[in-house]
């Protein structure tokens, strides 16, 4: 099989409400998503989506996705989309780094592989059933009362795990947020306090040693080294996210005992192929993982839910669904959706999500 065409679409995904991270220093209102359709000489077509969470969250840029695909496409035309490791090596030689550029291409090739094999992605990724994956809410930074109100709204939709975004310059305010949310949380619900790298190590140590909560704390500081320093001096389990860009970061995090778990995000890592490598490593060393994408519609969410569903229960924490924050839905009703706190991956061959091209607008580029 050979790739015969790569077609690129751009779509703006507005958030239903403004969203604040990192103690309020980062604000998000609109996501810039790229959809990729890969056609083959055997008539199979695969879909992928790459959608950074704005331009300030990570070194990943919506227009950069399209620019990178323009560079990669001429090299990929004529190659075998089923040979995913070879395809990823070719992409890495052609354009080192820029993992967020490659994820939509890799995802579309997994979709083609699944259709060719007649198997859903959760099966190809190693799962034995279409496991219903617990979903994880994402609670924008605010006052303790505002955040508790958002958690209660999420609970009413079935969410039992919440990612509460904290991390400011005011130590007392963060302590107050953690204590108030912990006190308000029902016994059967869980919270991760996600700092989104806002603290300096001393602030992290002061805050975390001042609170009674022993819940997960995510990405307290900017770098892996800073987070490892904090992890050795606090009682809470540490989850790492934004500082984990490639496999070697994960290997190093394990070597220096920087964390007990990681977020596995295909768009941050370069696609499902590389996310699966990290997931398999995490299972081998006993990490717990939230497996979800960086952003995007239900198409990107569904790809991540396939990987989550194929992960052992003991290693799998809840998954966030970005599409619940959006005011538009370019794949109406399709894919993994929240049903009373759980999302189940499709069992049709491949990814199981086919966008209506009329909703994507005219393609911005087609490479043949």
Please identify which of the residues 102, 263, 265, 276 carries the catalytic annotation.
Answer: 265
Pick from 241, 292, 293, 301: which binds Mg ion (CB under 5 A)?
241
Phi then psi dihedrals of residue 46, to 5 deg: -120, 155
44 within 8 A of 53, measured Cβ to Cβ: no
Pick 198 or 360: Cβ nearer Mg ion: 198
Residue of 165, 263, 274, 276 marked active site: 165
27 is catalytic: no
Minimal distance, residue 196 CB to Mg ion, in Å: 6
Phi, psi of 105 (to 5 degrees): -65, -45
**Closer to Mg ion at the Cβ: 230 or 353?**
230
Rounded distance between C-alpha atoms, residue 55 and residue 52, angstroms = 7
Minimum separation from the CB atom of position 220 to Mg ion (A):
11
Tell me if residue 274 is catalytic: no
Q: Is 111 in the site for Mg ion (CB under 5 A)?
A: no
CB within 8 A of 285, min separation 6: which ones? 254
CA 214 to chain centre: 24
List the structure tokens of 190. Answer: 């869980």
Residues near Mg ion (CB under 5 A), total = 3
CB atoms within 10 A of CB 16: 11
Q: Between residues 295 and 349, which has the closer beta carbon with respect to Mg ion?
A: 295
The residue of the chain with the least Cβ separation from Mg ion equals 241
| Binding segment (CB under 5 A) for Mg ion, from list 96-104, 238-246, 264-272, 274-282 | 238-246
- In the bound state with Mg ion, the residue whose beta carbon lies nearer, of 194 and 215, is 194
For Mg ion, the closer CB: 39 or 194: 194
In angstroms, the CA 344 to CA 340 distance is 11
Q: Please list every residue from 177 through 236 that binds Mg ion, using CB under 5 A.
A: 194, 218
CA pair distance 75, 360, nearest whole angstrom? 25
Question: Which of 307, 217, 236 is closest to 266 using CA atoms?
Answer: 307
- The DSSP output letter for 39 is E
Q: How far is the CB of 15 from Mg ion (least distance, A)?
A: 16
Contacting residues toward Mg ion, per CB under 5 A: 194, 218, 241
Q: What residues act catalytically?
A: 165, 265
């Amino acid at each position: 099989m050979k790739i015969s065409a790569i077609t690129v679409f751009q779509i703006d995904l507005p958030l239903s409400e403004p969203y604040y991270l990192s103690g309020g220093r980062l604000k998000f209102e609109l996501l810039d998503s790229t959809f990729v359709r890969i056609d083959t000489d055997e008539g199979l077509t695969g879909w992928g989506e790459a959608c950074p969470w704005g331009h300030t969250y990570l070194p990943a840029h919506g227009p950069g996705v399209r620019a990178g695909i323009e560079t990669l496409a001429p090299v990929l035309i004529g190659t075998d989309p089923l040979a995913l490791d070879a395809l990823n090596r070719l992409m890495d030689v052609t354009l080192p780094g820029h993992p967020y550029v490659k994820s939509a291409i890799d995802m579309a090739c997994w979709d083609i592989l699944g259709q060719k094999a007649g198997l859903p992605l959760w099966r190809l990724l190693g799962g034995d059933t279409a496991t219903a994956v617990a979903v994880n809410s994402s609670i924008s930074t605010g006052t303790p009362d505002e955040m508790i109100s958002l958690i209660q709204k999420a609970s009413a939709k079935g969410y039992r795990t919440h990612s509460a975004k904290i991390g400011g310059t005011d130590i007392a305010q963060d302590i107050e947020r953690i204590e108030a949310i912990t006190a308000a949380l029902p016994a059967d619900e869980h919270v991760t306090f996600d700092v989104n790298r806002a603290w300096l190590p001393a602030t992290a140590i002061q805050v975390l040693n001042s609170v009674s909560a022993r819940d997960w704390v995510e990405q307290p500081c900017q770098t892996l080294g800073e987070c490892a320093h904090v992890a050795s001096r606090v009682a809470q389990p540490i989850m790492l996210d934004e500082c984990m860009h490639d496999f070697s970061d994960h290997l190093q995090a394990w070597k220096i005992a920087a964390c007990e778990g990681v977020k596995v995000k295909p768009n941050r890592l370069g696609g499902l192929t590389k996310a699966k490598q990290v997931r398999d490593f995490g299972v081998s060393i006993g990490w717990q993982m939230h497996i979800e994408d960086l952003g995007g519609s239900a198409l990107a969410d569904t790809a991540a839910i396939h990987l989550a569903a194929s992960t052992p229960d003991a290693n799998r924490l809840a998954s966030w669904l970005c599409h619940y924050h959006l005011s538009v839905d370019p794949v109406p009703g399709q894919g993994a959706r929240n049903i009373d706190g759980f999302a189940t991956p499709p069992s049709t061959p491949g990814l199981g999500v086919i966008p209506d091209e009329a909703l994507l607008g005219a393609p911005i580029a087609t490479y043949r």
